[in-house]
Structure 1
């Protein structure tokens, strides 16, 4: 079954410490917790933040495709 962008974003979020995305106990941190727990959906700003945090996964995040010759891979193929 094909993964959607939200599924790919959740996969990246599982690899990420929420502390890397927001200050602990801040409004943003609570928002990230809600997303990670499935109680909220990603907004564009959060997808952009993940793309900034993981530049090597940007293309995969938005398209589901890899372009290794351009340095764009998925988390499954990181070294």
Structure 2
């Protein structure tokens, strides 16, 4: 799941999101995000679902690391 966290970091960087904004978008706890972003924990399935809902066009890329542009699933690199 470490790759999932790394992809979320890419999204935050590309969109200029602070941790507070990430918390607001996902509804997850600040301390939980702090731990995950500092590689102290593993994302739970329900957290991945919340993150996917917060970033609907990136959700496939977040989980699998691949784009499906024909289904509207892209990565931050494709948005530039």
> Normalised by the size of structure 1, how large is the TM-score?
0.71
Aligned partner of 2:64 in structure 1 is 63
Deviation of 1:8 after TM superposition, in Å, equals: 3.1
Whose helix fraction is larger, Structure 1's or Structure 2's?
A: 2
| Structure 2 segments unaligned to the other structure (5+ residues) | none
Aligned residues: 72
- Check conservation: 1:56, 1:72, Cα contact below 8 A: yes
- Check conservation: 2:7, 2:62, Cα contact below 8 A: no
| Runs of 4+ more than 6 Å apart | none
Secondary structure at 1:56 match in 2: coil
Q: Rate the CA distance shift 1:62–1:56 in 2: closer, same or farther, 3 A.
A: same
Q: Of the two, which has the highest radius of gyration?
A: 1
Aligned partner of 2:8 in structure 1 is 12
| Structure 1 segments unaligned to the other structure (5+ residues) | none
2:49 and 2:19 mapped to 1: Cα distance?
15
